[in-house]
Amino acid sequence: PPRSTLFPYTTLFRSLAGEWKFSFKKFLYDGNTDKIPRKMYTKWFDYDKIKDSLAIRNRRKGDYFVLDAAGHHKKLEDYFVNEKIPASHRDEQLLLAGEDEIFWIVGGRMAYGTGISDATRWVLEITASNSSH
């Protein structure tokens, strides 16, 4: 959703993988790390670290995500190979992205540096669901 979006916000996304519903909530972080969801399809992001408007999309040439504090990048294609995601499913994989940088491989990992930290003020909670999840 664009930065000017009012929360909560819900949108539908149709892809090769079917119809998905994405729900976005924004709230003040109280510092309690025990509340951070440990679910595949619900993630908390530091709202202030996601600078531009977000896109839900499929992969594009050149996509990458940040691996660690040193800023090392991993190409999305390499991630798919390492995780043994069949080539036939790679075009169906949904991504939460800004420009070429991937913030979340939906159902998989988040990019380093986009999650909750001691400095987090606002949380953006994103939940993805479809008929099979």
Confidence band, pLDDT 50/70/90 cuts, at residue 15: confident
> Can you say whether the dihedral through the CA atoms of 113, 2, 38, 77 is positive or negative?
negative
pLDDT at 18 over 90: no
pLDDT band at 5 (very low <50, low <70, confident <90, very high): low
Give the pLDDT of residue 44: 97
DSSP string, 88-120: HHHTT--EEEETTEEEEETTSPBPTTSS--TT-
Amino acid identity at 105: I
* CA distance readout (Å), 116 to 34, 72, 103, 112: 12, 19, 13, 10
pTM over 0.85: yes
106 pLDDT exceeds 70? yes
